[in-house]
Amino acid sequence: SVRRKLNRMSNSSHDHKLLALMDMKGFDPKEVTVTVKDGKVKVSAEHKEEHTSAGGKEYNYRNMTREISLPPGVREDEVTYSL
């Protein structure tokens, strides 16, 4: 189950605490931006595709933005992330 997977990931990080886990399926890591500023972690992603077919051009566009407040006592320079 997803909850058990989250618990295993949280437990495997030892003394680090897991603030968030996000599904970024459909986004290439190069399309994802993570910033830490003003006590918040902001995750943004943008994906664009263009396909040309006999009927013309087709465009697919997807974006996502999520902001998470840091818990009290957590310094911005302590935040780490991985994709």
What is the tens place of the pLDDT at every residue in 23-73? 888 899 999 999 999 999 999 999 999 988 888 899 999 999 999 998 888
Distance of alpha carbon 17 from alpha carbon 11, whole angstroms? 9
Q: CATH number for the 29-74 domain, one of 3.20.20.140, 2.60.40.790, 3.65.10.10, 3.40.50.300?
A: 2.60.40.790
Domain locations along the chain: 29-74
pTM of the full structure: 0.68
Residue 14 has pLDDT above 70, yes or no: no
- Across 9-21, average pLDDT: 59
The pLDDT score that the predictor gives to residue 16 is 62
Is 6 within 8 Å of 18 (Cβ atoms)?
yes
First vs last C-alpha separation in the chain: 21
The pLDDT score that the predictor gives to residue 54 is 84
Which residue has better confidence, 18 or 33?
33
Residue 23 DSSP class: -
